[in-house]
Amino acid sequence: MVFLQSALTAAAPRESGSGFNWNPFRSRLDHALPTRARIVTDVSSPRSGEEELAFLLGAERARAETLVNLLRLVIVVVLAVAALAYSLALPRPLREANAAVLAPMLVWSIVQVSFGRRPDGIYPQWLSAVAPIVDATAVTAIILCYGLLGSPAVALKAPITLVYFAILAARPIMGSARSTGITAACIAGEYAAAVAILAHSGQVTLWVDPITAAGSANIAILDEVMKVVLLVAAGVVATHVSAWHERVLRRALAAQIARNTDERELSIRLQEADKLAALGTLAACVAHEVNSPLTAIALSAELLGRDLTNPADRDEATAIANDARRTATALHDLLAFARKGQTDAAPVLLDDIVTRSTGTLRSLLRERHVSVERAADVPAVSVNGDAGALERVLINLMINATQAMESQTSPRIIRVTVTANHDTATLAVQDTGPGFAPGAAERVFERFFTTKPAGKGTGLGLWMVADIVARHGGTIAAVDTGAGARFVVTLPLLGDANGAVAA
């Protein structure tokens, strides 16, 4: 048993430090997400490509928006401190204007930095779209307040209009092209409206000569028109850069996701190869440990059957001997599979395979109240193959059908049919169970895929069935008929050159 324990140790899951446990999606997201989002986001199973791309785009924008929000908060705090420092030198209306604009902006900035993100660390789209418009409106409000309250020169000639350009410059790294375009249109419209309101109120006069206007408290039409044109031009450039940046970022992230997907699939294949290597070691150990006892059981049952006078008891002893030999043969074939050896082929009647398989499972079928239906007049269909291996194929399919019908109260029936068509033979097994779950029929022959509860399935049975059928030059398909599951095995008829068996 030392060999068996060693094999089980080799087949045990690796420690968490193994390279196979690396999740490239988690690695990518850890770099994309803000720190707070990593704590609350669970990405143990990767999203689809489109979902992952959208999520990563949002994460990259969230990082940039977090930086801009922090910068806004710092600027508003600096402006508030400056307003307090100059409050004694300003008229009361201007002090009130500063308080009316800067106080809400300070609260707005603190709320954005502290509470603006969702639990996954991403800012809501509406907040990302509204934030730059709120900033631009605050600048426009300061210009209007200063202009209407007696300081139009400070309002229109001070460098506060440069904040508009700063807002536009930040949009390409945070928002979409559409959001940037809307923000640019709002900024240009707001500034033009502010100039028009001040001119209409009589606080400023629009002069044609920019040289004369520069030395007075008034403004020149040409200067203001140029400011609006420059704002529009900056908005067009920012919109174009936003679209370009989004395309480049999307392509880069899509390429990263594709690489991560390939790495994940490679990791899964390496895990499966590791499991199969451990399975080969385990198979060799099991064959070594169990083969001798099974041989002893078969010989003892034969000797016991010779001394029995009751025909029923003698048949039971013979069945025990046959089952023990069949199990020993299965272990031998499992060892041959692990060693990639060769299997001898011979003419095999499929009807005999059905008869022997049904006889082997008679106790299980009787205990589970399952009846087997076969055609009364079965044609003699022969294939070239390994009788023991083909028998294990049918036994496995019938056991799966029996297990699928365990919980139902309606009649449990397995229908086994054998047919021949031109140069192929067909062996079909159909049950009256619930059929397949959505998407399961296409995956039932994958290694380690199982729909059974934990501890009741290894995901290797149908995979080995498909391997045996493939080594016989045949195919197997799983179909949900709507009234149960149906497995169809197609094999070359006897004499077909494709019927050679090789492990």
Domains of the chain: 23-267 (no CATH), 343-499 (3.30.565.10)
Residue-by-residue pLDDT tens, the chain, 503 positions: 333 344 334 444 443 333 333 343 344 344 444 443 433 333 344 456 677 777 777 777 788 888 888 888 888 888 888 888 877 877 888 888 888 888 888 888 888 888 777 777 777 878 878 888 888 898 888 888 887 886 666 667 677 788 888 888 888 777 678 888 888 899 899 988 988 888 888 766 666 555 555 555 566 677 778 888 888 888 888 888 888 877 887 788 788 878 877 888 888 877 777 776 776 677 667 766 776 687 778 778 878 877 787 888 888 888 887 777 777 766 766 665 555 545 567 888 998 889 888 888 887 888 888 999 887 777 788 898 888 888 889 988 998 888 888 888 888 999 999 988 888 899 999 998 888 888 788 888 887 777 776 556 666 778 888 888 988 889 999 988 888 899 999 999 886 544 444 43
| 3-state per-residue secondary structure call for 233-260 | HHHHHHHHHHHHHHHHHHHHHHHHHHHH
Instruction: Quickly list DSSP for 304-349.
Output: HHHH--SHHHHHHHHHHHHHHHHHHHHHHHHHHHHTT-----EEEE
Please state, in angstroms and rounded to a whole number, the distance separating the CA atoms of residues 165 and 175. Answer: 15
Strands 412-421 and 370-374: parallel
Q: Are 387 and 353 in contact (CB under 8 A)?
A: yes
Strands 412-421 and 424-431: antiparallel
pLDDT at 201: 80
Please state, in angstroms and rounded to a whole number, the distance separating the CA atoms of residues 47 and 86. Answer: 55
What is each CA distance from 234 to 30, 107, 244, 352, in whole angstroms? 34, 29, 15, 84
> Exposed (0-12), middle (13-18) or buried (19+): which is 327, by Cβ within 10 Å?
middle
> Exposed (0-12), middle (13-18) or buried (19+): which is 460, by Cβ within 10 Å?
middle
Please state, in angstroms and rounded to a whole number, the distance separating the CA atoms of residues 194 and 44. Answer: 53
pLDDT at 476: 92
Cβ neighbours of 108 (radius 10 Å): 19
- For the record, the structure tokens of 368 come out as 């589970």
Q: Are 502 and 343 in contact (CB under 8 A)?
A: yes
| 3-state per-residue secondary structure call for 460-498 | CHHHHHHHHHHHCCCEEEEEECCCCEEEEEEEEECCCHH
Instruction: Quickly list DSSP for 257-307.
Output: HHHHHHHHHHHHHHHHHHHHHHHHHHHHHHHHHHHHHHHHHHHHHHHHHHH
Beta bridge partners of 482: none
Q: Are 368 and 324 in contact (CB under 8 A)?
A: no
pLDDT at 334: 63
pLDDT at 414: 92
Q: What is the torsion angle, in degrees rounded to the nearest 10, for the CA atoms of residue 320, residue 322, residue 324 and residue 329?
A: -170
- For the record, the structure tokens of 231 come out as 């704002």
496: Cβ contacts below 8 Å, ≥ 6 apart: 384, 423, 473
Please state, in angstroms and rounded to a whole number, the distance separating the CA atoms of residues 102 and 163. Answer: 14
pLDDT at 218: 63
Phi and psi, residue 476, nearest 5°:
-140, 140
* Single pTM value for the model: 0.44
Beta bridge partners of 207: 220
Q: Are 370 and 402 in contact (CB under 8 A)?
A: yes
Please state, in angstroms and rounded to a whole number, the distance separating the CA atoms of residues 503 and 494. Answer: 19
181: Cβ contacts below 8 Å, ≥ 6 apart: 235, 239
